[in-house]
Structures are given as C-alpha cells and as structure tokens.
Amino acid sequence: MAQANFAYAAPANDAAGLPLSLSIFADRAHLRATLRDDAEAAGFRIAETADLAHLVEGEARPLGEVVLIDCPMVDAAMFAALSRIDMRAAHCGAQLVVSTTVAALDDVFACMDQSQPQILVDPSRADRVIALGRVLARIPNLRLRELAEEDRLLLLRLTEQVGQIAQRLERLEGPARDAGAGPAPGVDGGESAFRFEAAKRSFTPAEEDASGRLARASRPPLPDPRLVRRIIRQRQLRARFFDGDLFADPAWDMLLDLTAARVEHTRVSVTSLCIASGVPPTTALRWIGQMTEAGLFERVEDETDRRRAFIALTDKAADAMARFFAELGAGGARLV
C-alpha cells in the first residue's frame, strides 16, 4: 500500500515550521511499524518507538510532542505509568493518543484526567489516522478559526461519516482496506475546532414577578426515570427495523441516559455511557469530550477508588433537560 494514501494536505509542523516529534509505545511490533509509517507519511519526526515496558520503566525519558500508546490491558504498573505520563503531558503540553479495549476503557479513562488525551477503543487503522489528523488540527497555523457553533457540529458529524465510510471500505477492500482512509484527518477539526460556544441565554431565565421585579424562575423537576428509560427503549427499537446509522444521535442518547441516572441516584461509567450512545466507543468518546467542553457533562472521581471515574450531567444540563420535559408535557414524551 502506498503511503501517499495517508499523507495530509499539510506537514506536521509546529508554528515555527519544525517537524513535530512523535513517540510510539506498543507491544505489537507490526502495530509499531504501521503507526510509524502513518506518522512519517503525515510529516511527523519519530523520536522513539518502543514496547510498553519502556513506558512503565522510563519515567524520566523524554517525550515526543505527540505520544501514541497502545494499551489493550491495564494492570497496576500500567495504571501508574499512564497516570505519570498523563501528568507529564499536561505539564509539557504533549498530546496523547491512547488506544485500548472496551474491557480496559474505564481504567484508562480513570487514570488520564489531566492532559485531555484522545482515547480510541479497538480502533481501526482509519481511526488512528483520524486521530493523527486531530493532532494536526490543534496546531495554531492549521487550526480552523471563528467557526459558528452550527459549523462545528456539522464538522463533527461529517467526521463521523468519514470514519464510517473508511470502516466500510476497510471491510470491503480486504488487504487494501486502508486505501480509503486518507482524506479523513483533513476533515476533522479536533477539539479546539469543535468547541461549543457558551449558551447565548441562561437555562434559568429571569422572569418578572407581580411587582415588576426580576425573579429567577424555579426549575421544574427532572422527569420520571421510568419515562426516560421508556423513551430510550423506543429509540433503540428502531435499530431492529432500520440501519442504526440512520438515527444515530449520540449526544441526545447520552443526555437521556444521564438524566435517568441522575434521578435514580446511580453512577454511570464511561463504558456504560458509550454503550448508551448507540455509536462505536471511539465516536462516543469524541462526543463525551465535546459535551464536557460545552459544560453539559462532568467527570466525577470515585472518592473511594482512584481507579474509577464516572460521567454525570452538570447542573446546567440537568436544568435544560428538566425544562425540556416540562415543555413537552405529559403526552409530549411520545414525540421524543
């Protein structure tokens, strides 16, 4: 396969025009080679390729400006190593891309809370290439600027579609499955390009009382969780009759799931929320990042176990969901 298929429209240079250095840590030799090929085709300068033992043992070793880690399992030593590299990356500004499995996702998510890494779950080669594209999009001279909120949302959805197309091509083309993945990174604008703008109006609007003074409107209660769970089941039912991609709306499905959980006083792990989203975990994680940045989701640490963390609605999001269901009324939920 020609590497040109994975080349980007612009080289991986920083603001000064110097190649970005990249470190690769993976136990699978063939994966290290593939990552190296794709990164070099994108214009990165490879600083190091090594197995995970070097990551566990090499606390003081220098990091590249971009660090790719393939970590399918997390034991105590690896948990400590990921926590260290997360703090180091946050301190020095390195960008992390960590691939893992569904089984290890909660552990990886729990220990990486400082550097805002990209986390990929059982990624295809196309997913990894898209992740490199997101790294490039964070570079100042390549970053998309001054996008309206609707444009950012459009780009995020377009990125999902590109990823889906690439994955289908992979399944159809056999050994040449990676040939269709090249354009994907150039489309994806990364977190900074997709950042949601702050809401233009408060979710708790002020209203005038009888005396003409402004008074903050009281928030209606959140809906009965049984109603929300019924809506979720109705939405999932469509997948029995139609291609699920036709109705994919991960942001809304996750909002519904977290709304029910908030009323039920239950905690939601990142793995559980990815399942609730109805889209592949890597796509769901992108949306969780966007919703967190928008102030709708928040990370909640487990005070009794550092190896666990959860996702919850912020008060702002809970307020919006309460008002939404109050506006619908008792019968309107059938329309959701």
Confidence of residue 58 (pLDDT cuts 50, 70, 90): low
Query: In this predicted model, what pLDDT tens digit does every residue of 121-164 receive, in sequence order?
Result: 999 998 998 898 888 777 654 444 444 555 555 555 555 555 55
Q: Is 96 left (phi over 0), alpha (psi -120 to 50) or beta?
A: beta
> At which residue do the structure tokens 């793995």 appear?
271
Question: Residue ranges of the domains in the chain?
Answer: 11-170, 225-335
Rounded Cα–Cα distance for residues 16 and 23 (Å): 20
Q: What is the pLDDT of residue 200?
A: 43
The model's confidence at residue 304, banded by pLDDT at 50, 70 and 90, is confident
Between 17-31, 139-153, 259-273, the lowest mean confidence (pLDDT) is in 139-153
Enumerate the H helices of the chain as residue ranges.
29-41, 52-57, 76-92, 105-111, 125-137, 149-173, 184-187, 190-194, 225-237, 250-264, 270-277, 281-293, 315-332
**pLDDT given at position 202:** 45
Average pLDDT in the chain = 78
Q: How is domain 11-170 classified at the architecture level of CATH? A: 3-Layer(aba) Sandwich (3.40)
Residues whose CB falls within 8 Å of the CB of residue 87, separated by 6 or more in sequence, listed in order: 114, 115
Q: Which of 31, 22, 245 is nearest to 127 (CA)?
A: 31
Of the pLDDT bands very low, low, confident and very high (cuts 50, 70, 90), residue 238 is: confident
For residues 57-81, average pLDDT: 87
pLDDT of residue 168: 58
Q: Which residues contact 33 (CB under 8 A, 6 or more apart)?
A: none
Tell me the range of 38-42, 108-112, 163-167 where mean pLDDT is highest: 108-112
φ/ψ of 95, rounded to 5, equals -105, 130
Relative orientation angle of helices 125-137 and 29-41, to the nearest 10 degrees = 40
**pTM for this structure?**
0.74
- CATH match of 225-335 with 1.10.10.10: yes
pLDDT at 150: 56
What pLDDT sits at residue 157? Answer: 57
